[in-house]
Homo-oligomer: A and B are copies of this chain.
């Protein structure tokens, strides 16, 4: 056992250090379709912030790259370790430390998964509202990517739902940021800076998340539209209506066919309506009062009809749940259909029609396919890209990202840049900004040990 391995074993305990052939394949990356599975030199499973700090100090001393891993469900290859590096897996730091029903917060360790947190908060009547499609994702991973998901249209993304952190700096100090407080004007906001930094600035060892009351009554409304532009134009009107949907998704016809087929889900839409539909809106409403929900649902139905929906279906319990689940699994459906990449550009809501139609033109020009769905309420378009040729794909992605930026958007709304999109990011982003980000990185991580190769080289 080398020096480093011995030191790591001392820190986390021998049984929580994996090396060489003892490292299962699962640790070699995340779910990014374009990742390059890479086995790290060491996997450590710390149990405390102090252990994490000692690991980082050791890594710093030996200039060893360190990658944090939550559940490895990320889509930007940001949890893909360095071949000479240490992978810090937070799987043992998975306790829900406190559910504080007075301040409406939970204090959790980063390895807690969203489904565990959901389960543990259920009886309190409160819940964590960040719902990326994958409930096995961890809260620490959410912090790493600034995860969004379907309910962001009402509740915001991770950034809006994390009030404080305990974090370990690459220089080995353990700090606390924010707290069980909803606001602060006391120095630069380190909580916000660390959120979305993809494990490159600091490692979160405790997270204080907001909880919201679970509203008892919900309705899911499905509306087919004859063309995509009309769907897109309907979105701002629904956002403006004051109905405050907690789900506002669009699904194009191909994606809908695929996900409902895979889920063996019959939505009861007559063939002639389905055949004439280019896209669908899925709108979720919720309320603490059943009667008000009824009123809102009726109002939404009228609004959708006025906006050109071919029909409006209020889905009942099981069908509603299944449709949402099928939508959550859209990524797997795209993957099994042979998609070569999945991207998540975000643009101003008003720019979605132009973004989609011009993306399709770009795809046609390069003989590629793009189909998709997305968090329409957020202007966040998830496109599955079909193009086997690597160079053609890179050039298409460049053009699609550039288009998104031209329309006032950014490359990623919630998945992050990671390793997967860093070339495009550095190429397209303002050099003055990239230089500033590099200086910020340097301010946190002078030795450059945290997730090198992610975001930029």
In Å, the complex CA distance between A348 and B164 comes to 12
8 contacts between A and B (CB under 8 A): A103-B348, A160-B160, A169-B432, A184-B413, A185-B417, A186-B416, A189-B195, A192-B192
Q: Min CB distance, A139 to chain B, in Å?
A: 16
Q: Min CB distance, A18 to chain B, in Å?
A: 29
Beyond A179-B410, A185-B414, A288-B242, whether A193 also contacts B192 by CB under 8 A is yes
A20 at the interface (CB under 8 A from B): no
Q: Min CB distance, A281 to chain B, in Å?
A: 17
Q: Quick one: which of A192, A195, A417 has the most chain B CB within 10 A?
A: A192
User: A290: which B residues are within 8 A, CB to CB?
Assistant: none
Tell me whether B348 and A240 are in contact (CB under 8 A): no
Q: Min CB distance, A316 to chain B, in Å?
A: 25
Q: Report the 7 A-B pairs with minimum CB-CB distance, sorted nearest first.
A: A439-B443, A192-B192, A180-B348, A173-B432, A102-B350, A186-B410, A146-B185
Closest to A147 in B: B185
A390 at the interface (CB under 8 A from B): no
Contact with A187, one of B176, B240, B433 (Cβ below 8 angstroms) = B433
Beyond A192-B192, A443-B443, whether A436 also contacts B169 by CB under 8 A is yes
Tell me whether A101 and B181 are in contact (CB under 8 A): no
Q: Quick one: which of A101, A179, A416 has the most chain B CB within 10 A?
A: A179
Tell me whether B417 and A186 are in contact (CB under 8 A): yes
Tell me whether B196 and A189 are in contact (CB under 8 A): yes
User: A156: which B residues are within 8 A, CB to CB?
Assistant: 160, 182-183
A122 at the interface (CB under 8 A from B): no
Beyond A175-B436, A443-B443, whether A196 also contacts B201 by CB under 8 A is no
A380 at the interface (CB under 8 A from B): yes
Tell me whether B242 and A179 are in contact (CB under 8 A): no
Interface residues of A, Cβ cutoff 8 Å to B: 100-104, 145-148, 152, 156-157, 159-160, 169, 173, 175-177, 179-190, 192-193, 195-197, 201, 213, 215, 236, 239-240, 242, 288, 292, 346-350, 378-380, 408-417, 425, 429-430, 432-434, 436-437, 439-440, 442-444, 455
Beyond A213-B242, A408-B179, A432-B173, whether A145 also contacts B185 by CB under 8 A is yes
User: A176: which B residues are within 8 A, CB to CB?
Assistant: 430
Q: Quick one: which of A183, A415, A416 has the most chain B CB within 10 A?
A: A183
User: A408: which B residues are within 8 A, CB to CB?
Assistant: 179-181
Beyond A183-B148, A188-B193, whether A239 also contacts B104 by CB under 8 A is yes
Contact with A411, one of B157, B186, B436, B443 (Cβ below 8 angstroms) = B186
Q: Min CB distance, A170 to chain B, in Å?
A: 11
Q: Min CB distance, A433 to chain B, in Å?
A: 5
Q: Min CB distance, A452 to chain B, in Å?
A: 16
Tell me whether A184 and B346 are in contact (CB under 8 A): yes
User: A443: which B residues are within 8 A, CB to CB?
Assistant: 436, 439-440, 442-443
In Å, the complex CA distance between A436 and B157 comes to 26
User: A434: which B residues are within 8 A, CB to CB?
Assistant: 187
Tell me whether A380 and B192 are in contact (CB under 8 A): no
Tell me whether A347 and B181 are in contact (CB under 8 A): yes
Tell me whether A181 and B379 are in contact (CB under 8 A): yes
Beyond A179-B408, A179-B410, A187-B429, whether A193 also contacts B193 by CB under 8 A is yes
Tell me whether B189 and A193 are in contact (CB under 8 A): yes
